[in-house]
Amino acid sequence: MLEKIISTKSNLQILHEDNHIIVINKRVGDIVQGDKTGDKPLSEVVKEYIKDKYNKPGEVFLGVVHRLDRPTTGIVVFAKTSKALTRLNELFSNRETLKTYWAIVKNKPAKNEDKLVHYLKRNEKNNTSKAHLKEVPDSKLASLDYKIIKELNNYFALEINLHTGRHHQIRAQLQAIGSPIKGDLKYGFDRSNTDGGIHLHARKLSFIHPVSKENITLIAPTPIDILWNLC
């Protein structure tokens, strides 16, 4: 059984850090922001890291720009200054970022590559979203492109580019085409992964730096795992 490693201030997987932003490769089980579980969120771990590294007195400022689902791994951006937070929030809300995900599925999609368009309706009670082919009340348009990038032993690795950022979007849309993500019991996979995660990884992110205005492109290494290693 895989031992789940939770991020701490001493083992953070830092992909980029400067005066204004810090970008982390999130592990399975890390929660980006505090929730009802009461578990220490990644945001607090990063604050501890900054406080220690720079001997900062008092409260450390850290802005949460976006989130990843708890069982998902990969790139998470935090703002270290209020100026960076404001500008990053604008970038993400205006879809001025390029996000690429990798997913591993067991059932091969009907097409090697395709654009998926659905209407997602969120169910607050069980924290899921359901993908519909036609608009239904309170649904939101969701679209993505995918392509098969590797055939593995009994599995298929997909590369996914998001055009919208809906709740559980990739998970719900892949379930809708009959290709749920490995380990994702909530969205139709038949068994869980031993570490409680799912094979969905925020692989690549490109954006304009909120202060320096330079182009930033970051790639997050996949977790150490037999299937990911084959990718």
- Residue 23 phi/psi, 5-degree rounding, is -120, 130
Q: Which residue has the tokens 């937070």?
A: 85
Buried b (16+ CB within 10 A) or exposed e, 84-116: bbebbbebbeeeebebbbbbbbeeebeeeeeeb
Going by C-alpha positions, the residue among 78, 74, 51, 44 that lies closest to residue 64 is: 78
The token duo for 26 is 């999130």
Would you state the torsion angle of the CA atoms of residues 114, 119, 122, 128, taken in this order, to the nearest 10 degrees? -30
Kindly name the residue from 18, 35, 69, 184 that is annotated as catalytic.
69
Q: What angle do CA 166, 171, 174 make, to 5 degrees?
A: 110
Paired tokens of 46: 């990063």
Residue 146 is which amino acid? Y
Residue 69 is among the residues annotated as catalytic for this protein: yes
3-state secondary structure of 229: helix
What are the helix (H) ranges across 155-197? 169-176
The pair of three-digit structure tokens given for residue 118, joined into one six-digit string: 């659905």
Active site (catalytic) residues = 69
